[in-house]
Structure formats: C-alpha cells, structure tokens
Amino acid sequence: MSVRLLALVGSLRAGSHNRQLAEAAIKHTPQGVGIELYEGLAEVPFYNEDIDVEGSVPEAAARLRAAADQVDGFLLFSPEYNGTMPAVLKNAIDWLSRPFGASALKDRPVAVVGTAFGQYGGVWAQDEARKALGIAGAQVLADATLSIPASLTRFAETHPVDDGEVVDGLNAVLRQLSAEAGTAAA
C-alpha cells in the first residue's frame, strides 16, 4: 500500500528555504510514500464562516479541502514570523478544520518541520502549528520534529536537498509520519 502525504509550506516567497526543505523531502521520500506539494495557499481567502457555506465555498478553499481528502497524512513546513507561524499556514489549518465535525485533519497524522533564520530554527512557530493542529483534531506527531536554525547562512550556497544532516532529519520524520499514516489508512 502506498502512503499519500500532503505538504503545506507556510512561506510564499519564491526563494523560500522552507519550500526548498519540502523539495528535499519529496526528493528523498521513502519507497511507498508519495508527497504532493500543495500549490495555491496564496489564493485561499482568509477563513470566514460567512463564506464557508455548503455549495458556495470559495474555489481555492474547496481545492485545498479536496486535496486534503485524498491523503493519509500531512507534512507542514513552517518558517517563523514574529515568533509564530505565518498567517497562510494558520489559514490553511482553519479551512481544513471545518466544517465542524467533518475536519479533513481529524485523526490524521501530521508532522511539522521547518527552518528559520533564528538560532532555534522556528521552534516557536512549529509549536504553535502543532497546537492549532491538535485543537483541530489532527493526530500530531510531537516527536517527529526538525528545526533547522540559521537558514540564511546554512542554505546560502547549499540547497537542503544536498545537506546530509537535513536529509537524515527529514528521513527520520518521514519514516515516523509514513508509518503512522499507513496505520491510519489501513
């Protein structure tokens, strides 16, 4: 059986190190695991219950929910903005957590990783994302973590896909997440 994961990147910047981290995860995905890098978070409107009405959900939000319905688990990549997760990632979590009782996240395994310029690699943002995901009903893998500090210098000349330590860390997270996702899908 193949395990399907959806990757959500919390940075919209073209040269995002977190997007590069997601690309590294995709390139080094274990056999039997497929990762879809979701494109289109920038188009998803801010969550508003007034527009989250069956039959008229905004198209970009409906596409996100449809993509989430096709996977066994989620891998989120979060930079840290002002000590917390970026709004685009929180917005995705909000859309996926609804409608109440039918969350696309409910009981699905999720891991949160990332890189940031600071000395802690974005751990505050990743912790905030895990908190929001847990409240939304996801099965948050608290031990499947990877926080890479000093992204601007570490990845100035090296793409994460070519950094052995990063690849090893991603592989450990992916093994744990795919094992949980495979169990949940069975």
Q: What is the tens place of the pLDDT at every residue in 39-75?
A: 999 999 999 999 999 999 999 999 999 999 999 999 9
Mention every residue, 6+ apart, whose C-beta is less than 8 A from residue 170: 21, 24, 25, 28, 113, 146
CATH number at residue 29: 3.40.50.360
**DSSP E strand stretches across the chain:** 3-9, 33-37, 73-77, 109-115, 139-148
CA pair distance 76, 105, nearest whole angstrom: 12
Q: What percent of the chain has pLDDT over 70?
A: 98
Query: What does the DSSP 8-state code read for residue 1?
Result: -
Please state the pTM of the whole predicted model: 0.95
> CB of 71 within 8 A of CB of 65?
no
In the predicted model, is pLDDT for residue 186 greater than 90? no
CA pair distance 54, 85, nearest whole angstrom: 28
Q: How many domains does the chain have?
A: 1
Expressed as residue numbers, the domain containing 96 is 3-185
| pLDDT for residue 101 | 81
